[in-house]
Structure 1
Amino acid sequence: MQFITSGRQFLALIFLSIIISLKSLAGTGNLKAGTSKINITPKTDQFIHDSVYARSLVLDVNGERIAFVSLDLPIFTSDRVEQACKQQYNIARVVLSSTHNHSAPMVDNKINVSESSPFQPYYEQQIIKVVGEAVAHMFPAKIAAGKSTFPQLGFNRLIVREDGRARESWVGDDHYKVENPERIPFGPVDPEVGVLKITDLQDNPRAIVMNYAMHADVVCFNYEVSADYPGVATRKVEAAFGNNVNCLFINGGAGNIESLMISPRKSGYKDTTHTNYAPMERTGELLAWEVIKLTKSISMPATTATDIKYKVDSLHFTGRYNVNRAYDVHLITLLINNQISIAVCPGEMFVQFQLDWKEKMKLASMNGFLFGYSWSGGKWPGYIPDVRSAAMGGYGADGDDVIQVGAGENIMTRHLQNYYTLNGSLRSYYSNK
């Protein structure tokens, strides 16, 4: 952990980090859950191929609530949403998970995958509403999880070239062609899809959380509104269960993972080339098939008692080259029923972190998940490459606005530390107070 200040400010930041890291929820009781879905497509002059949505899931044990909101948006953060949900609905923590689609509503035909959007007030209003609707329709619930491996849908877009350096797949050379048209399955990737299944006490599915690591930019530069393949996948999963469930897509460590199937990119909004949505539909369909099959195979616990523990943390970093750039990165580590561990991470984590986390959780007999693109406070950190990727270079791994080298490793080490603290294995000075 590196602090970017000195003197009294340095000590104050250390104290703040300690205080934040000590905040946690530990509770065993009867689980209540609530879920809702709302269209967040604003008024726009763009053609709308398919609408964008917000889907909420609120979990409540002993009156302590945490809310997850899956958003068909590139990047979304909001202190207003967090504060409003705390005040109006008694939500202890709000996690805003962006699917990271690259075809969200635009203004003046400008592709916008940044944090800021002129539609921000409207999005906030709709998100607060969808969380409120979930709270208003809480039901006694159970939760379980599972994973399934299937043929990969994506590839690692940072390809190591003849000179030993990596360059992104949209840069060609004498060996590899632009955009990987042969669809070579470069790695590493994570071929697993994970599911959290929330049911009522009769084991009827009510909410499904789908966790998969891949960029949602199959139809990037289409200059039309679309939720991309996560929108297709969630709709198909919901339809398979009679539209009696809400399916939340939460991306994983997808910072360097591209879809094997893509639509040809337009050169600009005036380009009359027809966008081919077939690759998007097929990708979403294949993912949905696996999620539906996996969800049906997950057995629910016999007991209604649910144990949820989580630990909130904050780490501070600088930029890789600009030490005056400050990143306040907020994390949440969850442990559910001593069987499910979730590392909630903002930014675009590279896939190696997800692979490493899940491997460490297997050693602990845990069903490990990494929720990427998931904001719960602090500053959005952008791309977070692993050290090897930072050394190899390429888009997102190197650049003036990339976070300092080693930040991702520090983040995941803190998650691991918090996991072992939550399960009671790792004692600390503060746990004895």
Structure 2
Amino acid sequence: MLPRCLLPTLLALLFPWVSHAAAPSFSAGAASVDITPDPAATNWVTSRPFEGVIDKLHARVLVLASGDARVAILTLDVTNTNESNVAEIREAISAAVGILPSHILVNSSHTHSGPLSAGYRWVGNPAKKIVTDSLLENWARQLPGLCAQAARQADSARRPVTLSIGRADVGEWLFNRRPVRPDGTVKSTLLPADPHSLPEGLRFGPVDPTATVLTFRGADGKPVATLLHLACHAVSVYSQHKGLSADWPGAACERLRQSVGGEVLFIQGCAGDIVPARRGLENARAMGAFIAGRAATAATQGLLLEPAALAASHATVGLPYIPEAAAHTGRPNVETEIQVISAGELALVALPGEPLIGLSKAIQDGSPFPHTLVLGYSNGDGAQYVGLPGEKIRGGYEMSIVGRGTDECGGFMIATALRLLREHRARPPRNLKVAKENP
């Protein structure tokens, strides 16, 4: 009698078409490039030159392919990328490697110790001197080409991989800066005296303590690339040191790369109201090391996901502006993008601007996928800070003029994301229809 352990091998040999259909080919390649600007460029926080380079900034690209479908995930150690910057970067990558612009995800780490997007104008904070800074203008002109260079290297490095998902608890390093008063309003607490104890009867705001690790391993079992997902502002360094830095995400990526190998990309979550519990350069390094250590352990315990077809789609949604933002921008709303990339049981949802953590939970709770990662700071600025419906009346910094959209915006974004997720789950074609939302 044939041993049971040999049965899958025999079936694969006798019926290779069945094996191929059940396990579509899945490949990945990753690369990075230095994008550190000249430190003589203007620091948007101080309107003075950066005080040197604390650590380098990078653009990192992961190219995934399944059959003839390809997607690229680009992560940038910058404060933000506005819609026009994203369009330029996508066009450059598409021209370099042939990936559809709509299949390219651009995510910013939101380090406050890095450059702003070229031409950036933040409602309520015009970021003086940034646009006219020739050093930053030159850097911005070079950025799409550098991203395309990394994409070419990543695409040419693609090889068959497996994909696993692991999770780690890193909540002790996270703080929601929107604690709630007894009357239900928010008291903005950007830098808590004690992140683990609140005065005045305040209630802690929600955090997602989960660092999610997606590991792409080659046939030799070694990581080709790792995606590290967490929702937390990258603001440990800038208030105390005025140099260029990738902040704690950069430290985490470097430490994880050293410990597990391969390229490591950090994808920022819905961190609009989430900040590090402790600040300063040493704490940034300690936080990065802690997260990397937990992530490395999670990677060894990860669940192996079945190979599956890759799909990407997006929808454009119009987010109405509050009157002050409409007056400042000269338009009643902003058209922005919600993007979904899926493969089997896994889905990535990319939201623009600075969504609060509540949007992530709402989308995860409503998602038909067992594993759903929700990203903020992706593919443009959108309406900047966006919370759940009802947050505007609660007040706080994020719901002031820096939150350009009306109270309904969060609901529009959630509904659009969930519709895309349901479409992916129901029928994961290679090219899902691009739609435009009209809320």
Q: Could you tell me whether the CA contact under 8 Å between 1:28 and 1:308 is conserved in 2?
A: no
| Identity %, equivalent residues | 20
Residue 375 of structure 2 corresponds to which residue in structure 1? 371
Residue 291 of structure 2 corresponds to which residue in structure 1? 287
The 3 A distance-change label for structure 1 pair 111 and 154 is: farther
Residue 238 of structure 2 corresponds to which residue in structure 1? 220
Partners of 1:141 and 1:39 in 2: CA distance: 26
Q: 2:250 aligns with which of 231, 234, 252?
A: 231
Aligned to 2:304, the other structure's residue is in SS state: coil
The 3 A distance-change label for structure 1 pair 164 and 182 is: same
Displacement, 1:372?
1.3
Aligned to 2:278, the other structure's residue is in SS state: coil
Partners of 1:410 and 1:203 in 2: CA distance: 42
The 3 A distance-change label for structure 1 pair 333 and 353 is: same
**1:96-152 deviation digits (Å, cap 9, x = unpaired):** 110000011589xx9969996532112222111111111121112222323233433
**1:306-342 deviation digits (Å, cap 9, x = unpaired):** 32223211101221225533211111122211x1122
Residue 395 of structure 1 corresponds to which residue in structure 2? 397
Displacement, 1:371?
1.4
The 3 A distance-change label for structure 1 pair 350 and 115 is: farther
Report the AA paired with residue 235 of structure 1.
Answer: E
TM-score (norm 1): 0.79
Q: 1:326 aligns with which of 327, 333, 336?
A: 333
Report the AA paired with residue 370 of structure 1.
Answer: V
Q: Could you tell me whether the CA contact under 8 Å between 2:166 and 2:303 is conserved in 1?
A: no
Report the AA paired with residue 114 of structure 2.
Answer: A
Residue 415 of structure 1 corresponds to which residue in structure 2? 417
Q: 2:165 aligns with which of 131, 145, 155?
A: 145
Aligned to 1:208, the other structure's residue is in SS state: strand
Partners of 1:351 and 1:100 in 2: CA distance: 15
Residue 301 of structure 2 corresponds to residue 297 of structure 1: yes
The number of residue pairs the alignment matches comes to 370
Report the AA paired with residue 147 of structure 2.
Answer: I
Report the AA paired with residue 28 of structure 2.
Answer: A
Q: Which runs of 4+ in 1 moved over 6 A?
A: 110-116
Partners of 1:135 and 1:312 in 2: CA distance: 22
Residues 96-105 or 379-388, more deviating: 379-388
Q: Unmatched 5+ residue regions in structure 1?
A: 1-26, 171-178, 264-276
Report the AA paired with residue 278 of structure 2.
Answer: M
Q: Could you tell me whether the CA contact under 8 Å between 2:34 and 2:57 is conserved in 1?
A: yes
The 3 A distance-change label for structure 1 pair 131 and 365 is: closer
Q: Could you tell me whether the CA contact under 8 Å between 2:312 and 2:341 is conserved in 1?
A: yes
Q: Could you tell me whether the CA contact under 8 Å between 1:145 and 1:340 is conserved in 2?
A: no
Aligned to 1:146, the other structure's residue is in SS state: strand
The 3 A distance-change label for structure 1 pair 358 and 115 is: farther
Partners of 2:402 and 2:265 in 1: CA distance: 33
Q: Unmatched 5+ residue regions in structure 2?
A: 1-21, 41-50, 119-124, 198-203, 434-439
Q: Could you tell me whether the CA contact under 8 Å between 1:328 and 1:379 is conserved in 2?
A: no
Q: Could you tell me whether the CA contact under 8 Å between 1:254 and 1:351 is conserved in 2?
A: yes
Report the AA paired with residue 142 of structure 1.
Answer: T
The 3 A distance-change label for structure 1 pair 114 and 246 is: farther
CA RMSD of aligned residues (A): 2.8
TM-score (norm 2): 0.78
Report the AA paired with residue 236 of structure 1.
Answer: R
Partners of 2:129 and 2:104 in 1: CA distance: 20
Displacement, 1:256?
0.6
Residue 259 of structure 1 corresponds to which residue in structure 2? 276
What does residue range 185-224 of structure 1 map to in structure 2 within 5 Å?
186-221=204-239, 222-224=241-243
Displacement, 1:287?
1.0
Partners of 2:129 and 2:417 in 1: CA distance: 26
Residue 74 of structure 1 corresponds to which residue in structure 2? 79
Residues 151-160 or 220-229, more deviating: 151-160
Q: 2:95 aligns with which of 80, 87, 111?
A: 87
Q: 1:101 aligns with which of 111, 118, 135?
A: 111
Q: Could you tell me whether the CA contact under 8 Å between 1:346 and 1:372 is conserved in 2?
A: yes
Q: Could you tell me whether the CA contact under 8 Å between 1:146 and 1:367 is conserved in 2?
A: no
Aligned to 2:59, the other structure's residue is in SS state: strand
The 3 A distance-change label for structure 1 pair 115 and 287 is: farther
When you count helix as a share of all residues, which structure comes out higher? 2
Q: 1:36 aligns with which of 31, 37, 42?
A: 31
Residue 282 of structure 2 corresponds to residue 278 of structure 1: yes
Residue 407 of structure 2 corresponds to residue 405 of structure 1: yes
What does residue range 109-120 of structure 1 map to in structure 2 within 5 Å?
117-118=136-137, 119-120=139-140
Displacement, 1:164?
4.1
The 3 A distance-change label for structure 1 pair 384 and 247 is: same
Residue 259 of structure 2 corresponds to residue 240 of structure 1: yes
The 3 A distance-change label for structure 1 pair 379 and 98 is: closer
Residue 73 of structure 2 corresponds to residue 61 of structure 1: no
Partners of 1:86 and 1:334 in 2: CA distance: 17
The 3 A distance-change label for structure 1 pair 205 and 229 is: same
**1:189-240 deviation digits (Å, cap 9, x = unpaired):** 1111111111113332111100100100011232111110001100000000
Partners of 2:29 and 2:364 in 1: CA distance: 28
Residue 174 of structure 2 corresponds to which residue in structure 1? 154
The 3 A distance-change label for structure 1 pair 425 and 120 is: closer
